[in-house]
């Protein structure tokens, strides 16, 4: 069972879910490039400008640890990365667990992604200006001699570490991606886990996923936010177990 | 709350909550706001009641929402708090309030979240200076980048070799000029020692030159050769400095300069030679004229000597006349040959007076019979260091100029004086002396003032085509300057011109002392010693063997060096001395002498030469040389010394 984290966090986000499957599965957890303990020096702007680059990494990781016929659990953008990886190497996975997935964040004709063009533009502008990212990057420097030096450490060495420069590019890649066309010929069994109230992946997106994945089940969890694996781990585990 | 009466403490706490200088909000586990203080509501432009029940997320901008959901909400779930997260809150009027947000999850006894406590700091000011700081930082980075680009451009575009190396010469960074000048790209150079490419002969000197660079920059350029990728060597002139543990050095390509300098030297040499030939040409006419006079004397003397009835006293007088005339002719040709010979510029110390006396006669031949040469040369030695041949050439050139200025008639005064200082000449400041001043004053027409500044220019001439090349006075000027002196000219139209050549005088006893003449060594008679005469000219050979027989030697005559070697065999065949001409068909006298010296070191060799370019260039190689024309007396004395009497 391979767990892939989404944008903004690292493999720590599976801490409440992955242990529940360790008795029956060999669990594989990893950090995407730029996140957690990965080597930022390995980042290649061209390779990772599209989600395919991340999908190639998933395939390589799975092959390195000899995964075949496994279960892929992907959160957020990693749900789509998992679908792409499956299409590159179908022998890897029998089942895909897609938590809060979205094939496209930007609204389109007859498609609700949750973000208007103006909003995506604002988000991209923000990525360029990056007030939050900057504050985080500067935090250790600003607070190094403050009364509470642990704060700087917390922001940089937290459970959700991400290289700010790579995070920025990852966000751009994520929010500009459109993988709707990749859904149709996915033959693996798919579970789409949708939160009741999620601004990043609204209910319409979950329904769309379910409708376009030929062999899929939709589970709607009564929880808010974008991370049911953290906000509602028990329900998430239950939904996965029920599916498997 | 409104129905109850509050105690003072509660009232105080209530006031603190509502009106503290930071925003407070509580949210339920599902993120909906349950309580918000007056400060936060006011900041955002809402009544407190308007916010209750709304999601905290709804107060964020779109980017804030995304980041909150992807970054901070997970943090809150995993750790139970987050601190000082920079976010923008949307105000009621649509503008934004920059804030720093702290959040902590409050849990009940069994660990379930009860509510989220949110603290909000107004970060308007802080964000403003953060932005300023960032802008400043960006501006600074841009400036640094610009400077770095400029420096990099200079590094990249420099036509000189630039290098950063360690103190051992290991190359750490090189610029693009290395590829252009040495055919070596950076990857082939980095990490290697510069001495891998240095000419083996230059390694030691280069190490020595750079040895002190840690303490003092290398300011005086050090030149050494580096090997091009094609195997050839290029010369570079290096300066450098040591800073922060590394050597920074610049190498200027000087191969072309050396080639130019060599070409210039060749051109100068050629110019000198043509200037000299010009002077020789001037001399030849005079010498030929004088020679004809001398030959006339000899001819008529011989005619008289043929008379059978000539009294003994008259006979001796004619014989003396012939002998004296031959001496004069020999001296003349000797001077002309010495003058014309090609030789490298070779400054040496000599006595100007002595040299003037010895070339004075030659100047006579230049000026011709109708010009009287008056020499005023003091007896006191006046030594200078200069090239003798150039000095003589300069004298001839000045004499020729005087002759032409006088139209072949007048008085030329040659004067040597000591000058305390070098006077200011043509704008050059005076220089402290002493100087030897050699002046030639003519009684000619003088030089027009408008021409006087140009007379030292090469190829400047007032003479007709074919009469002068305009190189003469430029040679005088060049020689004077090269020797650390100068040449001055004073002229008055209609009265005459004085050229004054200044040469720095040697102080004290510097330079070689004149070698005392060897004393004669007794009467030249032989004692039956055997002499092998090697001479290709039949008359000279016959004459030489005749003289030697008369002196009491036994002679054998070979017509060339090859025959002589055969005659001598392996052991010298009993000969006591070999007397050989230098210029002969075949190997010649010098080669013969060398062979004999190696094969039979005990057999002395005497060479006879009129003029040989081999002797002029290489010297006599340590052999005894008798210069033609020689007298029987000279031959006898030298042989007497070289082949001692047997008894």
B66 contacts A123? CB cut-off 8 A: yes
- pLDDT at position B615 is 57
What are the pLDDT digits (tens) for B87-107?
A: 889 999 999 998 888 899 998
**Residue A144 pLDDT:** 31
B242 and B318, same domain (yes or no): no
- One domain, residues B272 and B248: no
Residue in A76, A78, A95, A102 annotated catalytic = A76
Active site residue A226: yes
The CA distance from A17 to A22, in Å, is: 10
Q: Is A5 exposed, middle or buried (0-12, 13-18, 19+ CB in 10 A)?
A: buried
Identify the residue among B33, B65, B66, B119 best suited for mutation to test binding to A, counting A beta carbons within 10 A and taking the highest.
B66
Q: Do A115 and B62 touch (CB under 8 A)?
A: yes
Torsion sign over Cα B361, B365, B370, B373: negative
8 Å CB contact of B62 and A76: no
Q: What is the mean pLDDT of residues A199-220?
A: 93
Domain carrying residue B566: 530-642
Assess whether B192 and B94 both reside in one domain.
no
Q: Does residue B53 carry a pLDDT above 60?
A: yes
pLDDT at residue B316 greater than cutoff 60 = yes
pLDDT at B481: 81
Question: Any idea what the CATH number is for the domain that residue B270 is in?
Answer: 3.30.565.10
Is residue B342 over pLDDT 80? no
Residue B513 counted as domain residue? no
pLDDT tens digits, one per residue of A116-127: 989 888 888 877
- Ranges B171-180, B269-278, B547-556: which has the least confidence: B269-278
What is the DSSP track for B108-140?
A: -TTS-EEEEEEEEEE-HHHHHHHHHHHHHHHHH
> Strands B171-174, B161-165: parallel, antiparallel or unpaired by DSSP?
antiparallel
Dmax over CA atoms of chain A, in Å, equals 57
Spatial neighbors of A145 by CB under 8 A, at least 6 apart, are: none
pLDDT at res. A97 = 97
Residue B141 with chain A: CB contacts under 8 Å: none
Question: pLDDT at residue A199 above 90?
Answer: no
Count of structural domains within chain B: 4
Average pLDDT over residues A209-213: 95
Task: Give mean pLDDT, residues A86-94.
Answer: 96
Query: Which of the four pLDDT bands, split at 50, 70 and 90, describes residue A197?
Result: confident
Helix (H) or strand (E) holding B633: helix B632-642
Of the candidate ranges B11-20, B469-478, B518-527, B600-609, the one whose mean pLDDT is the lowest: B518-527
CA distance A1 to A18: 9
Query: In B, which residues are within 8 Å of A126 by CB distance?
Result: 61-63
Kindly state whether residue B136 falls inside one of the protein's structural domains: no
Q: Within its chain, how far is the Cα of B30 from the centroid?
A: 87
For residue A91, the distance in angstroms to the closest alpha carbon of chain B comes to: 31
pLDDT at B468: 56
- Does residue B74 have a pLDDT over 50? yes
Rg of chain B in Å (alpha carbons) = 51
Asked whether residue B421 falls in the same domain as residue B481, the answer is yes
Residues B289 and B436 in one domain: yes
Q: At which residue do the structure tokens 């009497």 appear?
A: B645
| Average pLDDT over all residues of chain B | 82
Residue A157 in this model has a pLDDT that exceeds 50? no
Contact at 8 Å (CB) between B459 and B469? yes
Query: Which residue's structure tokens are 């004397």?
Result: B297
User: How many residues are recorded in chain A?
Assistant: 244
CA distance A187 to chain B (A): 30
Q: Do B69 and A225 touch (CB under 8 A)?
A: yes
Nearest to A200 among B66, B78, B130 (CB): B66
Closest partner residue to B75 (CB to CB) among A122, A138, A160 is: A160
What is the pLDDT at residue B617? 52
A198 is known as an active-site residue: yes
ipTM rounded to 2 decimals: 0.86
CB contact under 8 A, A231 and B73: yes
**Is residue A32 very low, low, confident or very high in pLDDT (cuts 50, 70, 90)?**
very high
Assess whether B551 and B468 both reside in one domain. no
Q: Judge if B561 and B626 occupy the same domain.
A: yes
The DSSP bridge partners found for residue B530 are: B554
Where residue B115 sits, what CATH number does that domain have? 3.30.450.20
Nearest residue of A to residue B133 by CA position?
A138
In angstroms, what CA-CA distances link B81 with B32, B75, B144? Answer: 17, 7, 40
**β-bridge pairing B23-27 and B33-36:** antiparallel
Q: Which residues of A touch B53 (CB under 8 A)?
A: none
Q: Which range (B42-56, B380-394, B566-580) has the least confidence?
A: B380-394
Give the position of tokens 């030298």: B638
Nearest-CA neighbor of B591 among B621, B555, B557?
Answer: B621
B368 pLDDT more than 50? yes
- Cβ-nearest to A15 among B78, B87, B98: B78
Which pLDDT band, with edges at 50, 70 and 90, does B501 fall under?
Answer: very high
Mean pLDDT of B616-642: 74
HSE-CB for B583 with a 13 A CA cutoff = 12
Counted across chains A and B, CB pairs separated by less than 8 A come out at 92
Domains belonging to chain A, first-starting first, are 2-104+178-243 (3.40.50.1820)
* Token pair recorded at residue B337: 């040959």
How does pLDDT run across B226-269, given as a tens digit for each residue? 999 999 999 999 999 998 889 999 999 988 888 888 888 888 77
Angle at B593 between CA B588 and CA B595, to 5 degrees: 100
pLDDT in tens, B555-572: 999 999 999 999 998 888
């Amino acid at each position: 069972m391979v767990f892939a984290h989404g944008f903004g966090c690292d493999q720590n986000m599976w801490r409440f879910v992955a242990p529940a499957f360790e008795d029956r599965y060999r669990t594989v957890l990893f950090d995407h490039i730029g996140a957690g303990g990965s080597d930022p020096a390995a980042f290649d702007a061209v390779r990772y400008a599209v989600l395919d680059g991340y999908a190639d990494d998933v395939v390589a990781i799975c092959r390195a640890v000899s995964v075949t016929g496994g279960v892929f659990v992907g959160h957020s953008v990693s749900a789509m990365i998992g679908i792409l990886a499956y299409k590159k190497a179908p022998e890897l996975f029998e089942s895909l667990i897609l938590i809060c997935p979205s094939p496209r964040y930007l609204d389109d004709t007859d498609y609700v992604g949750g973000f208007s063009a103006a909003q995506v533009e604002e988000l991209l502008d923000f990525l360029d200006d990056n007030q939050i990212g900057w504050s985080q990057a500067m935090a250790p420097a600003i607070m190094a001699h403050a009364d509470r030096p642990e704060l700087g450490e917390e922001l940089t060495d937290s459970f959700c570490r991400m290289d700010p420069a790579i995070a920025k590019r990852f966000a751009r890649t994520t929010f500009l991606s459109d993988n709707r066309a990749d859904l149709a010929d996915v033959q693996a069994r798919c579970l789409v886990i949708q939160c009741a109230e999620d601004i990043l992946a609204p209910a319409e997106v979950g329904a769309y996923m379910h409708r376009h994945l030929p062999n899929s089940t939709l589970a709607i969890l009564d929880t808010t936010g974008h991370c049911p694996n953290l906000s509602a781990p028990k329900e998430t585990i239950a939904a996965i177990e029920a599916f498997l | 709350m409104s129905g109850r009466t509050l105690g003072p403490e509660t009232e105080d706490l209530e006031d603190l909550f509502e009106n503290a200088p930071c925003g407070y909000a509580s949210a339920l586990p599902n993120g909906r706001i349950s309580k918000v203080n007056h400060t936060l509501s006011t900041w955002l432009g809402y009544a407190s009641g308007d916010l209750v029940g709304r999601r905290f997320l709804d107060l964020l901008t779109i980017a804030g929402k995304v980041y909150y959901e992807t970054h901070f909400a997970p943090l809150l779930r995993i750790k139970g708090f987050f601190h000082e997260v920079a976010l923008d809150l949307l105000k009621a009027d649509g503008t934004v309030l920059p804030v720093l947000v702290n959040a902590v999850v409050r849990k009940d006894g069994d660990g379930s979240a009860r509510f989220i406590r949110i603290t909000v700091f107004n970060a308007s000011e802080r964000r403003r200076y953060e932005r300023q700081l960032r802008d400043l930082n960006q501006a600074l980075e841009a400036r640094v980048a610009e400077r770095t680009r400029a420096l990099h451009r200079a590094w990249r575009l420099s036509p000189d070799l630039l290098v950063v190396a360690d103190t051992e010469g290991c190359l750490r960074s090189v610029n693009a000029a290395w590829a252009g000048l040495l055919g070596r790209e950076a990857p082939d150079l980095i990490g290697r020692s510069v001495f891998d490419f240095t000419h083996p002969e230059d390694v030691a000197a280069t190490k020595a030159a750079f040895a002190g660079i840690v303490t003092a920059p290398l300011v005086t350029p050090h030149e050494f050769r580096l090997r091009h990728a094609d195997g050839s060597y290029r010369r570079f002139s290096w300066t450098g400095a040591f800073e922060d543990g590394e050597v920074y050095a610049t190498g200027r390509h000087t191969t072309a300069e050396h080639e130019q300098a060599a070409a210039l030297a060749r051109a100068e040499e050629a110019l000198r030679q043509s200037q000299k030939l010009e002077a020789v040409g001037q001399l030849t006419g005079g010498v030929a004229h004088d020679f004809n006079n001398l030959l006339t004397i000899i001819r008529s003397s011989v005619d008289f000597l043929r008379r059978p009835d000539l009294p003994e006293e008259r006979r001796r007088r004619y014989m003396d006349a012939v002998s004296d005339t031959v001496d004069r002719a020999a001296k003349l040709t000797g001077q002309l040959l010495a003058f014309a010979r090609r030789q490298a510029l070779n400054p040496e110390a000599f006595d100007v007076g002595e040299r003037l006396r010895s070339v004075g006669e030659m100047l006579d031949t230049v000026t011709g019979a109708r010009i009287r040469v008056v020499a005023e040369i003091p007896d006191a030695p006046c030594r200078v260091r200069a090239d003798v041949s150039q000095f003589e050439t300069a004298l001839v050139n000045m004499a020729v100029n005087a002759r032409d200025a006088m139209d072949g008639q007048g008085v030329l005064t040659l004067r040597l004086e000591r000058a305390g200082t070098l006077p200011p000449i043509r704008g050059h400041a005076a220089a402290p002396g002493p100087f030897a001043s050699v002046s030639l004053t003519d009684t000619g027409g003088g030089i027009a003032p408008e021409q006087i500044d140009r007379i030292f220019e090469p190829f400047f001439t007032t003479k007709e085509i074919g009469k002068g090349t305009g190189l003469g006075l430029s040679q005088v000027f060049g020689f004077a300057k090269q020797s650390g002196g100068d040449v001055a000219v004073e002229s008055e139209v209609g009265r005459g011109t004085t050229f004054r050549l200044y040469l720095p005088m040697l102080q004290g006893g510097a330079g070689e002392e004149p070698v005392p003449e060897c004393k004669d060594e007794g009467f030249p008679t032989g004692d039956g010693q055997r002499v092998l005469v090697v001479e290709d000219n039949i008359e000279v050979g016959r004459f030489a063997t005749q003289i030697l027989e008369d002196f009491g030697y036994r002679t054998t005559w070979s017509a060339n060096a090859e025959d002589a070697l055969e005659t001598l065999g392996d052991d010298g065949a009993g000969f006591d001395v070999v007397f050989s001409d230098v210029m002969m068909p075949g190997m010649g006298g010098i080669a013969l002498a060398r062979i004999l010296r190696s094969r039979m070191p005990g057999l002395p060799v005497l060479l006879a030469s009129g003029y040989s370019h081999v002797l002029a260039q290489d010297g006599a190689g340590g052999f005894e040389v008798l210069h033609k024309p020689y007298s029987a007396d000279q031959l006898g004395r030298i042989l007497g010394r070289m082949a001692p009497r047997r008894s």
